[in-house]
Amino acid sequence: MMWSLLVSLALLCFGTVARAAVVTINWNVTWVWASPDGFGRPVIGINNQWPCPKLEVNVGDTLIVNLHNGLGNQTTGIHWHGINQLQTPEMDGPSGVVQCPTPPGSSVQYKFLLDEPGTFWYHSHEKGQYPDGLRGPLIVQDPNDPYKGRYDEEIVLTVSDWYHSQSIPLVQNMLSPANTRFAPPFPDTILLNDKKDVKFNFVKGKTYRVRLINMSAFASAFLWIDSHPLTMIMSDSTYLQTETAYQLHASSAQRYDFLISAIDRDSGNYPILVALDINRDFRNQTLAPAFPHNQTAWLMMDENAPLTRPTNTIDVWRPADDTHFKPLDNLAMIPAYDHLVKLDFRFCLDANGYPRACLNGKPFISQKVPSLYTAATVGENNTNPLVYGQINPIVVKKGDIVQLVINNQEAAGHPFHLHGHSFQVLDRARPYAGDWPGRDVNYNPVPNRRDTVTVWSWSHAVLRFRADNPGVWLFHCHIEWHVEMGLTASFIEGPEQLRGKQFPADHLENCRVGGVPTRGNAAGNELDPLDTTGMLTISPTGYTGATWIPPPANTVTTTPGNSTSSLARRRAASRVQRRDAVFENS
């Protein structure tokens, strides 16, 4: 976030803002039939096309996306992964958190500033939906790129695991008492740029900037390019001091930018080997499964030359350690913190015996009122975590320095992502190092910054960030199946600044159509926000994902600024609670 503020100041100082554009696009989210690996299935595309389009804009631009839900049978919503959403937390996208789901036939507008350059992506943040295809690259170009002039062309390379079944039945099978191993769905294959056959031109004398994005629902990915070192220049959206790497490990949601060059001695065609890592710990080769899915892309120098270089699976992967990368700006470790947050992750069973993922003993459970709306409408009570229900709320003051410790008490690595911020990675302990010892040790004095960090098995990570962006920001594992199991916490940041916040009319209209209350505590109680009656404390057992279930015709919701009497609001809240009890447990 500090880098983001510096960029914003630079834009103001050097006049880039005056040249910034307002970029408007119109998207219709639709079902499309696709067979990227030869197996045909319905996927979620945009404007009747799939793969979804790449967005390319400039830092300082304002992006407006008019999104229409043309799915017919599912709700939807888009998260702009890695975008800070300065002063626009309502545009971040997670349904039930900062907005209501967008019903079929309805529309929503996203409008926000691109305050920071880098390699980003967008994806659905609506109940396990994005593995069905609703995701794509978002590239924010930098007119003042410090590496400008060192490369000639850009390549965007996305990696994704792919499933032949749709997401809803996959999650239904996972969220079963019979799933005693807490096993997520395993992918059927791997896609590069959402297809199997990927080739890039590779011309002598040219240097290429590769923007690698892992858009997987589950698997991390290894990358190796035959005979060519990788010159690292960016991780997520943080510029790096150049460092040479030969292999990379990108967990779900992580991005890496690196340079590769075609030099005089190069000839023929060079394979880019990408392997899905679904081993619990790739360092331990005795664990299975190891790497059943591999895919090769090619750097093409001669279309007539055979693709004969070896592309077999690498027996032992030794990827570069991203925590050793140095930020280009040499921004030192924030020297102290005001607020210590410690999150212990374990798989768990809920009261009904269903497998869940818990932080400090509790899974995240989506509530009746979007959390940002609660923060805006309960007045001084919005500093009390009680009003937000079981979303694992963490309330921090604006300006606080937060030290966030994640103890991974399970046998696999997990990628954790923070919305609205990049954080400093002070420490990422080796596998099996155990929990954080409860004291600060010799942390990296110039730590790397990113928005998604992998925490290794039976180990911990220590992160630090400045809470300078009021809003409600999720912190969650970016394995989508684990999100559905509840592996999420919520930062209620700068709640004093959120009181009375107004929301766009189209956002509120989607709430009305969906029968979702927009005022009061997690249960919709505006009169007594500290009354927890009606809050959801046990995860629903009947998983329906993003399936559109119209509310009863007589459902009444309250919206900011309406003049409904207190009695009418109580009656409306009662009806909404009864309706939601049916909806959540259907």
49-95 pLDDT per residue, tens: 999 999 999 999 999 999 999 999 999 999 999 999 999 999 999 99
Distance CA 478, CA 418 (A): 10
The H or E element containing residue 482 is helix 480-485
CB-CB contact of 381 with 529 (8 Å): yes
381-433 pLDDT per residue, tens: 999 999 999 999 999 999 999 999 999 999 999 999 999 999 999 999 999 99
**pLDDT at residue 4 in the model:** 46
* Residues 6+ positions from 237 with CB-CB distance below 8 Å: 3, 82, 116, 117, 118, 119, 120, 140, 255, 422, 450, 451
152-327 CATH: 2.60.40.420
Q: Chain-centre distance of CA 326, in angstroms?
A: 23
Distance CA 439, CA 244 (A): 33
**pLDDT at residue 402 in the model:** 98
Mean pLDDT of 32-55: 98
- Rg of the chain, C-alpha, whole Å: 23
What tokens appear for 22 in the block?
Answer: 């307002």
**pLDDT at residue 279 in the model:** 62
Q: What's the whole-number average pLDDT of the chain? A: 90
485-496 pLDDT per residue, tens: 999 999 999 999
CB-CB contact of 328 with 234 (8 Å): no
From 573, 302, 364, 327, select the one nearest 450 (Cα to Cα). Answer: 327
* Percentage with pLDDT > 70 across the chain: 88
Q: Can you give the residue ranges of every domain in the chain? A: 152-327, 339-584
Mean pLDDT of 292-308: 90
Mean pLDDT of 109-125: 98
* Least confident range of 147-156, 301-310, 563-572: 563-572
Distance CA 478, CA 480 (A): 6
**pLDDT at residue 306 in the model:** 87
Mean pLDDT of 179-189: 95
From 364, 371, 367, select the one nearest 487 (Cα to Cα). Answer: 364
Distance CA 370, CA 364 (A): 13
Is the confidence at residue 360, as pLDDT, over 50?
A: yes
**pLDDT at residue 498 in the model:** 98
339-584 CATH: 2.60.40.420
Rounded to two decimals, the pTM is 0.91
Distance CA 211, CA 89 (A): 26
* Percentage with pLDDT > 90 across the chain: 84
Identify the three-state secondary structure at position 567. helix
CB-CB contact of 408 with 467 (8 Å): no
* Least confident range of 211-215, 362-366, 371-375, 440-444: 440-444
433-487 pLDDT per residue, tens: 999 999 998 999 999 999 999 999 999 999 999 999 999 999 999 999 999 999 9
**pLDDT at residue 309 in the model:** 78
Is the confidence at residue 537, as pLDDT, over 80?
A: yes
Confidence grade of residue 562 (pLDDT, cut at 50, 70, 90): very low
**pLDDT at residue 260 in the model:** 98
316-346 pLDDT per residue, tens: 788 999 999 999 999 999 999 999 999 999 9
Say if strands 414-418 and 452-455 run parallel, antiparallel, or are unpaired.
antiparallel
Confidence grade of residue 36 (pLDDT, cut at 50, 70, 90): very high
What tokens appear for 502 in the block?
Answer: 């107004």
Confidence grade of residue 315 (pLDDT, cut at 50, 70, 90): confident
Q: What is the amino acid identity at position 350?
A: D
**pLDDT at residue 10 in the model:** 44
Is the confidence at residue 568, as pLDDT, over 60?
A: no
CB-CB contact of 114 with 8 (8 Å): no
Q: What is the 3-state secondary structure (H, E, C) of 223-282?
A: EEECCCCEEEEEECCEEEEEEEECEEEECCCCEEEEEEECCCCCCCEEEEEEEEECCCCC
Domains 152-327 and 339-584 share a fold: yes
